[in-house]
Amino acid sequence: MAFQLANIAGRAVLVADGAYHDLSRLSGGAFSGDMTEAIERHGELHALNENLDAALADGSLEGADLGPPSPAPSKAFGIGLNYRAHAEESNMEIPEYPPTFAKFPSCISGPNDDIVLRGTAVDYEVEVVVIIGTAGRDISQADSWSHVAGVTGGQDVSDRRVQFHATPPQFALGKSFDTYGPIGPLLVSVDSFENPDDIGLSCGVSGDPRQSSRTSDLIFDVPTIIEYLSGICTLNVGDVIFTGTPAGVGAPKRQFLGEGDVVVSTFEGIGTMTNHCVAP
Ligand code: ZN
């Protein structure tokens, strides 16, 4: 049975109908409550989810202190130019291999955490994010989804000035400022989706719609990305893959993020993230 996992104040919980259930309590102590353990044992969450009793819920999701669904990944990857229209708006050619960069794990933050602006060319990038649940190397496309604990949402917040102010461009630094990697709100199991390769995503800035697409429009889909990355390095439990952003980012035609902006990102079957942009 499909499950929804969340991180509330550092504790792993299962979510159903807007209420959350502490995983340690639910499992009679078989799970410690640690998020990474829950991600690694994702196969066991399906059965536990069948026993959720609404009357015994530990609290409501509304107003809960949500943390990132993978709080301590060994690696966070970003895929650039992975939607045709976004590659075109960036005046870049359609790539032959998935253009990959690192977001250092220290940038990962919770789904409703503030984005602390550290520049005047800071951009939003709504993205579907996958979390590795079963470690592996040389994973075939056919096996790729079975290595994924679940799908979540994310913003690959990017400082365009730092990204491009050195030669060659330094995507890793421009995209790794603290707070520039909010992910969430829930980690949703792959079997929740009729087709995990066709998930809707959108975002708006202070009420102005900016981006809207579906992952069925990805140039490199999730199986292709996982096969490619795992052919180079071992994918570990909790590793995070930002799968790319659709057209509509701030650069070069629209506005960058400013103090007071509110970025609202919505992911079909996963939920909504709300991030306030604040001064340092
Ligand atoms: Zn991105």
* Topology classification of domain 76-278: Fumarylacetoacetate hydrolase; domain 2 (3.90.850)
- What is the residue extent of each domain of the chain? 4-67, 76-278
100 C-alpha to ligand 1 centroid (Å): 10
28 C-alpha to ligand 1 centroid (Å): 40
Query: Residues 6 or more apart from 168 whose CB is under 8 A from it?
Result: none
Query: In this predicted structure, what is the pLDDT of residue 54?
Result: 85
What ranges make up the beta strands (E) of the chain? 4-8, 11-16, 19-22, 59-60, 66-67, 76-79, 100-102, 108-109, 115-116, 122-123, 126-132, 148-155, 158-159, 181-188, 200-205, 208-214, 240-242, 262-267, 271-278
69 C-alpha to ligand 1 centroid (Å): 18
262 C-alpha to ligand 1 centroid (Å): 19
125 C-alpha to ligand 1 centroid (Å): 5
Query: What is the layout of strands, in order, in the sheet containing 262-267?
Result: 115-116, 271-278, 262-267, 200-205, 208-214
26 C-alpha to ligand 1 centroid (Å): 36
Residue 192 · residue 269 · CB < 8 Å: yes
Query: In this predicted structure, what is the pLDDT of residue 86?
Result: 84
Residue 132 · residue 236 · CB < 8 Å: yes
224 C-alpha to ligand 1 centroid (Å): 17
252 C-alpha to ligand 1 centroid (Å): 15
242 C-alpha to ligand 1 centroid (Å): 7
Task: Count CB-CB contacts under 10 A for residue 260.
Answer: 11
124 C-alpha to ligand 1 centroid (Å): 8
3 C-alpha to ligand 1 centroid (Å): 27
State if pTM tops 0.95. Answer: yes
103 C-alpha to ligand 1 centroid (Å): 10
161 C-alpha to ligand 1 centroid (Å): 15
Can you say how many angstroms the Cα of residue 165 is from the centroid of all Cα atoms in its chain? 26
205 C-alpha to ligand 1 centroid (Å): 16
Spans of the chain, pLDDT less than 50: none
- Let me know how long the chain is: 280
Distances (CA, A) of 64 to 17, 60, 61, 107, 111: 14, 7, 5, 21, 11
In this structure, the strands spanning 271-278 and 115-116 are parallel
